[in-house]
Structure 1
Amino acid sequence: MTGCTKDPSITPDAPVTSTPSKTDQSQSVNNWILENMRDVYYWADQIPANPDTTLAPAPFFYSLLYDYNKEANPERDRFSWIQENVDELKSSLSGEEKTTGLEVKYYLRAQGSTDVIMQVLYVLPGSPAAQAGLKRGDIITSVNGQKLTTSNYASLATTPTTFRYGLGEVENGKIVDTQLVKTAIAAVFQQNPVLLDSVYTIGSKKIGYLVYNQFIPGPNGSKTPIYDQKLEQIFSKFKAQGVNELVLDLRYNPGGYVSSSVKLASMIGKGIDNTKTYYRMEYNKNIMDEIKRAGQTGELVTHFESKPQNIGNNLSRVYVLTSGGTASASELIINGLKPFMPVITIGETTYGKNVGSITIEDETGKIKWGMQPIVFKSFNALNQSDYSTGFVPTIEKSEPLQVKSLGDLEETYLATAVAQITGSGTARLSAERGPKLPTIGSSVQRRAGGSNMFIERSKITLY
């Protein structure tokens, strides 16, 4: 197995007597981008024959993408991206980034209004927002003294370093401002993706519940996969406690490392072992032709792992909680398990990302940019990959404005799953509270748009 990245020098062979101009530097970066994209990009045959290499690197990269701006094409490339700093790119893929620790949902303050509010979906434990006392369900109406509107909310929610969050509350069915302000200073913070796990005993049902928010083996730069190990510990506990129903909460999970997805699926799947196909990859035509000529098509298949923590034989089905930000490696879980057991989804239609990427960097260090291009499409054991528009939920739900804590048996999504499991109808489901407001997006969907299921670069084989 060999790496796929070409690493051209950005300096000429002859001695250089002056600093290269910005135009020359951009030209070198663009040449590096184009050569790599022609080699490994999934839609390499769609790259323009004569792209405009005079563009700055980022616009040049996006000019190469397949139908990038053609919204009518659901199969277009919405997902490849490039960053000027490859170290920041790699850090974000490992859950480390500058943040206050909030994930939020955006609503119009009232029907027809241009005012916006943010509902806190969850707060990362130990983060600046958690230390400031912010919690799930808080309603934010202003940042740094400015009311949120449709024209400023995107920048106000992400751009400052110091965030003074002005809070609101629901009063008589309307959002009203309060005098309460909580301040959080954004900092580089490592997310632990394993947010919550519980076991509920209801009659003969032992219900395991897991909130998992990104497929990350371990902290950025760590050689120890402590987050994968935490999942194994949780499923060991589930198995020891006789869990016979599973609710997997992926509504805030935009994807991540395929290797972690394999491990999680291998602890859930029914009747699976390391001979069963979890997913198969399809690369661009040139790479596929080379693989076939070399007789290496077996390298395209990733099997489940034989895990002692597997609880699949105790399960007759699995429930997966979803949102519009459930993407990539999360959708791979749904698609990969479907051939082996019923997968019942509760929530919203998922993002629709049946393709994956690799990180490409210049290993000479002369080019500082990093790319995350789409290089493969995934198929399950039944050769299915038909979710580019997302998985439509088996049971449709949306979160109310006033929410219960995650893990609370009256929290809307969890309560719906438990009612299905126990056959108790909606007895445990508390009434959805708060006004019905138009939704305009979430930070989870933003992460889904800038994340991927990705593999190590060495997984691509060139002969």
Structure 2
Amino acid sequence: MKVFHVWRPALLLAVSATVLLTGCKKNEDVSPGNLSSTTVATGVVTDTEVNEWILQNMQSYYFWNDKLPASPNKSLSPDKFFASLLNTYNATSNTDGDRFSWIQPSAETLKASLSGQSKTTGLQYKLYYRDNTRTTVIASVLYVLPGSPAAKAGIKRGDIISKVNGQTLTGTNYSELLSGSSDTYTYGFATVAANGSTVDTDQTKQVTAIVFQEDPVLLDSIYTINGKTIGYVVYNQFIPGTYTSDGTTDKTYDLKLDNIFGKFKQKGVNELVLDLRYNRGGYVSSAVNLASSIGKNVDASKVFYSQKWNPAASAAYAAKYGSNWNIQNFVNKSTSIGSNLSRVFVLTTSSTASASELIINGLRPFMTVTTIGTTTVGKNVGSITISDATGRIKWGMQPITFKSANAQGFTEYGNGFVPSVEVKEPTVAMKPFGDLSESMLSEAVFQIAGVRNARRVATLEIDRPFIGSSLDEKAGGGNMYISDKQLMPAH
């Protein structure tokens, strides 16, 4: 069952693929196989042609290319053909299978969304049935993008949406109402009663979706508590910078993080809480940038992570770039606070994935990483973005192409990182980010400074069956771990 709000990413990045392979000195084309283009200069592109293009790229770059079917059915539609090639995960019979590869009809949509640009009202939320009768539904707002239409309308984290355009959300209409053909939505709200149930109010707010660039750095704060100087950052997607119509991405958000850590360093921050609870991943370059600002005694000589590709791709890249082509070291950062830290606290949920998990795994050989929250997704594999450089084939795909390991060689976190300290977020009435009585931040401060904020109170929770989250619709499911140097041949 697909759940989403308004997710219509726009604009395009005109490259054939994006890859980060460390040890490379240049961005150059390299092909693991003798691939030939199936496109022609003129004429209508048939599904068979598209499927040939899909198959050739999957034969070269797919991590499980040895498990591709011998005679795939090329008469299928491209989306079904792509699915037929996958080494699909099965909890019983194929636990090391593929859970994360995807394809989209528009490469433009794919590439823009990976850089945080989409048509949206600016809301992210989780959906629950109101109670065990599983009839009516509520959307519990997780966060609102600053500057977005929803933010300007006054919607905030912790709000509860129970109606859209005058209609009560139910198990049969919520998807249509929350992702309708119109860009304008009138939200009706509910509040929490004394017994923990939700009660509709007369309050409504109208919001119109726009093409919007997400700033992934939602909040930063410094707290001085019981002799500890605690830095806190809420980071929701690994995006280097803003996305533009010519396909370029600047370093706006990487630089914003650098400035935050520079401030932390100046203020003597000696404890860090990194809030990745809703961060489903993104570009490896931004993960390297962030990890290099945190790691204890790390520098450009220390390994952050390594990649394992299929044998053909590995041999081709090694021949082109040398034996260390798949090693990514940390980078030297003048704003690093690592010398002041012995540990880092990471806030996690079941929406914490991919590049976020890379941070956890990559830092553990160098310092104590304490996770607080709930178990993460378990995405220890990465992907590349593949599109047709000629623009003739419009499809874009994001197949899994490699598996990652930290400096100690640890790679087996496919079941997710179980929290060091379990804390479950409430389903409704969530506190604002940065509020010291907010459940997950409060626990982190307690672990650091031994102080439990006096305002922290238990919220009366009733059983609300979970349906899904708008986060699941971010960039093909949001489980992103994307490499970002162009090394792919044009197909």
TM-score (norm 2): 0.88
Conservation of the 8 A alpha-carbon contact between 2:232 and 2:274 = yes
Q: Which residues of 2 match residues 189-228 of structure 1 at below 5 A?
A: 189-221=212-244, 222-228=248-254
Conservation of the 8 A alpha-carbon contact between 2:123 and 2:143 = yes
TM-fit CA distance, 1:91 = 0.3
Q: 2:365 aligns with which of 321, 339, 343?
A: 339
Letter in 2 for 1:232: D
1:105 aligned partner: 126
1:184 aligned partner: 207
Conservation of the 8 A alpha-carbon contact between 2:190 and 2:198 = yes
Letter in 2 for 1:8: S
- Superimposed CA distance per residue, residues 357-387 of structure 1 (whole angstroms, 9 cap, x where no aligned partner): 1111111111111111111110000101111
TM-fit CA distance, 1:443 = 2.0
Q: Which residues of 2 match residues 147-296 of structure 1 at below 5 A?
A: 147-160=168-181, 161-173=183-195, 174-221=197-244, 222-292=248-318, 296=322
Question: Unaligned regions of 5+ residues in structure 1, if any?
Answer: none
Conservation of the 8 A alpha-carbon contact between 1:7 and 1:364 = no
TM-fit CA distance, 1:460 = 6.3
Conservation of the 8 A alpha-carbon contact between 1:415 and 1:428 = no
1:86 aligned partner: 107
1:420 equivalent to 2:443? Answer no
Letter in 2 for 1:148: L
Change (3 A) 1:197 1:419: same
- Superimposed CA distance per residue, residues 1-51 of structure 1 (whole angstroms, 9 cap, x where no aligned partner): 424596725237xxx7xx54xxx6111111111111101111111110110
Counterpart Cα distance in 1 of 2:91 and 2:222: 46
Counterpart Cα distance in 2 of 1:393 and 1:143: 36
Letter in 1 for 2:189: L
Q: 2:468 aligns with which of 432, 438, 441?
A: 441
1:387 aligned partner: 413
1:57 equivalent to 2:84? Answer no
Conservation of the 8 A alpha-carbon contact between 1:359 and 1:457 = no
Counterpart Cα distance in 2 of 1:69 and 1:151: 28
1:30 aligned partner: 51
Partner-residue secondary structure (3-state), 1:298: coil
Counterpart Cα distance in 2 of 1:79 and 1:71: 17
Instruction: Give the structure, 1 or 2, with the largest relative contact order (CA under 8 Å, sep 6 or more).
Output: 2
1:2 aligned partner: 29
Question: Unaligned regions of 5+ residues in structure 2, if any?
Answer: 1-27
Change (3 A) 1:119 1:349: same
- Superimposed CA distance per residue, residues 213-260 of structure 1 (whole angstroms, 9 cap, x where no aligned partner): 100000113443010000000000000000000000000111000000
1:11 equivalent to 2:40? Answer yes
State the percentage of identical aligned residues.
52
- Superimposed CA distance per residue, residues 290-328 of structure 1 (whole angstroms, 9 cap, x where no aligned partner): 445668220110000111111111112100001111111
1:429 equivalent to 2:429? Answer no
Partner-residue secondary structure (3-state), 2:224: strand
Counterpart Cα distance in 1 of 2:90 and 2:84: 10
TM-score (norm 1): 0.93
Letter in 2 for 1:336: G
Conservation of the 8 A alpha-carbon contact between 1:208 and 1:247 = yes
1:453 equivalent to 2:481? Answer yes
Q: 1:302 aligns with which of 320, 328, 340?
A: 328
Letter in 2 for 1:10: T
Counterpart Cα distance in 1 of 2:373 and 2:78: 39
Conservation of the 8 A alpha-carbon contact between 1:115 and 1:148 = yes
Counterpart Cα distance in 1 of 2:432 and 2:251: 28
2:14 aligned partner: none
Partner-residue secondary structure (3-state), 1:299: coil
Counterpart Cα distance in 2 of 1:267 and 1:428: 32
Conservation of the 8 A alpha-carbon contact between 1:7 and 1:363 = no
